[in-house]
Chain A
Amino acid sequence: GAVVSQHPSWVICKSGTSVKIECRSLDFQATTMFWYRQFPKQSLMLMATSNEGSKATYEQGVEKDKFLINHASLTLSTLTVTSAHPEDSSFYICSALGVNTEAFFGQGTRLTVV
């Protein structure tokens, strides 16, 4: 199946700094990617839909100025957590939509803000 790679797998940052997470579709082009957030022992919550060449569509309650999404190419979407705080600590997962409309998920990024 298609491969989606997230980088980094885990990151620790200081409160107030920004962190960028990359999501790459390695062997297919994805005009649409999705970003999810997962709190411990909870389900995945959709944060935003990222479309190549256009602004991301954010779900209700997600701060677009805090979670900056850029989808500059057909194989790369980035999520930047700006001015991170401990409450932003979470597991972030991206998915990329393949040509047959199946979503392929990255391995996730564990963000810890200290």
Chain B
Amino acid sequence: AQSVAQPEDQVNVAEGNPLTVKCTYSVSGNPYLFWYVQYPNRGLQFLLKYITGDNLVKGSYGFEAEFNKSQTSFHLKKPSALVSDSALYFCAVSLEGFKTIFGAGTRLFVKA
């Protein structure tokens, strides 16, 4: 079955420190991979995507993600976290027919 896994329910990091939010996937074929951020009672905001090309993808708000085909991972990273980065982050994969399935979400807390 095709799936997306975010192994951490929550990630805590101090402001100014680097952050990583993990994501692994299991899909057939070449995946389209995405990261979204959600603030309370709000919809999803697109951060970045990988479709093809360079494995390191740069996105909005200083975020980046690295596609690793051998490890089937697409971890989200940021060199220096901000308190305002605190939110719920979803990894997602687009399947045939462009249906998107989401990971369970990881709540990021950045402490000042």
Contacts and interface: CB of A to CB of B under 8 A. Distances in A.
Interface residues of B, number: 20
Contact residues of B: prevailing secondary structure: strand
A6 B94 CA distance: 22
B46 A95 contact: no
A44 B49 contact: no
A103 B94 contact: yes
B104 A32 contact: no
Contact of A42 (B32, B46, B94, B104): B104
Given A101-B32, A102-B49, A43 B43 contact: no
Interface in B26-44: 32, 36, 41-44
Nearest to B88: A41
Interface string A36-55: 00000011101001000000
Given A34-B99, A43-B103, A46-B101, A108 B94 contact: no
Contact of A46 (B41, B43, B100): B100
A101 B65 CA distance: 20
Given A42-B104, A43-B103, A43-B104, A107 B43 contact: yes
Given A42-B104, A44-B90, A105 B43 contact: yes
Interface of B: 32, 36, 41-46, 49, 90, 94, 97-105
Interface of A: 1, 6, 32, 34, 42-44, 46, 49, 91, 93, 95, 97, 101-108, 110
